[in-house]
Amino acid sequence: MIIIILFVHYAHRRIICTVRMIKNSVNMQTHPTIPQTLSQPIGEHSSPQVRIAYFIMVHQRPETFKALFEKIYTRDQFYLIHIDRKASSETTEAIQDYIVQYPNVYILESMNIVSGGFSMIHAELNAMEFLLNASKEWDYLVNLSGEDLPLRSQQIIRQFLTVNVGRNYIFYYDQKFYRPDTLQRIQNHFTELTHRISSLIYKRDFMKNVTPYIGGKWFIFTRETCSFLINNEKVMDFEDYYLHTLLPAESFFQTVLMNTNFNDIIVNDDKRATFNPPLIGKDNYYKQFLRFLKESNSLFINKVGDLTDERIIECMINNYNLPLPEVNEIERELKRDKPGKN
């Protein structure tokens, strides 16, 4: 069964959200410190494992998407697929024909995702709203691209999130302190056109009493966080502003959550390993990346479409069913000396 949700225009979504705010209030629990990540097995009398809703954005390479899907699919979880409007008809048909056999898979109507624009955030907010309405039986939302892969089995990933339930995972840094070179992205007014960002740019003041944050575009959010992002009036003020910024996918959610009551239940880690070898010094990069895979508790690896190194592939296969190493999030945060260091 495939369910199609109609594209909701930005302004219309604001009207829907305003109506829902009258009916709902979101009361979030906070924690005083950054928690230490736990990875030990769940006891016999523990509560059932969490259920994950996956939102997967695809624009090419259907075979790579299928490899991802087959590794993360279970009948008791939820899967929402977005196929970019720019994708070829062959890619779209191949994915649609493939997922029609799965009863718990949904398709979000295609949008044109513009590189550097707000359209990716828009699609993710639409996905949150859709999944919240589709079922009350999921606990976490994970966003993926169609070229990602899990580094651990679903059993291990769900066990990790069950033990650490209530915590959000996303990379964030104080943008003014760590990345002042990127402030022009939010201090200028940008306009997203159909296929690109307009060259017409002008200066403007940033949001008052708000600290800008920056990080990456990957996240693992609790259901409550998704509900907050969809229904809270303050979030719509951030949407109004970040609609006209550059690369908001790397800063919108960080800035919203770090300037609300959610900042005490965010772990500064997106649980992703990003494979991005340089043009020069690839062998040394591969060695460092291999070490990172063995020592980290990352759950997914990004952009594996071009991954051919046999050492890394073998490491991924060998570690797939191994328990995650225990990592002290506070200690790791203190050791991290620059943005982007895992």
Does 221 have pLDDT greater than 60? yes
Taking each helix axis as running N to C, give the angle between helix 10-23 and helix 119-134, from 0 to 180 degrees, rounded to the nearest 10.
40
Question: Which pLDDT belongs to residue 304?
Answer: 82
Mean pLDDT for all residues in the chain: 85
The CATH architecture annotation of domain 4-22+47-273 reads Alpha-Beta Complex (3.90)
In terms of Cα–Cα distance, which of 56, 323, 57, 298 is closest to 171?
298
The per-residue pLDDT for 9 is 42
CA distance 298 to 294: 10
- Tell me phi and psi for residue 156, to 5 degrees: -70, -40
| CA distances in angstroms from 26 to 22, 92, 173, 227, 306, listed in the order given | 11, 37, 26, 8, 42
* Integer Cα distance of 116 and 93 in angstroms: 27
Confidence at 335, pLDDT banded by 50, 70, 90: low
Q: So what's the pLDDT on residue 18? A: 37
Q: Is 128 helix (H, G, I), strand (E, B) or coil?
A: helix
- Stretch 271-298: mean pLDDT: 88
Residue 47 has pLDDT above 50, yes or no: yes
pTM as predicted: 0.84
* Structure confidence at residue 330 (pLDDT): 65
d(CA 137, CA 170): 23
Q: Of 54-68, 103-117, 302-316, which gets the smallest average pLDDT? A: 302-316
Whether pLDDT at 136 is above 90: yes
pLDDT confidence band for 17 (50 / 70 / 90): very low
- 140-146: average pLDDT: 97
pLDDT at 13: 52
**pLDDT category of residue 11 using cuts at 50, 70 and 90:** very low
Residue 73 class from Cβ within 10 Å (0-12 exposed, 13-18 middle, 19+ buried)?
middle
Contact 48, 25 (CB under 8 A): no
Q: How far is the C-alpha of 252 from the C-alpha of 261, rounded, in Å?
A: 16
Q: What is the enclosing helix (H) or strand (E) of 124?
A: helix 119-134
Q: What angle do CA 253, 254, 255 make, to 5 degrees?
A: 90
Local confidence band at 235 (pLDDT 50, 70, 90 cut-offs): very high
Above 60 in pLDDT, residue 56?
Answer: yes
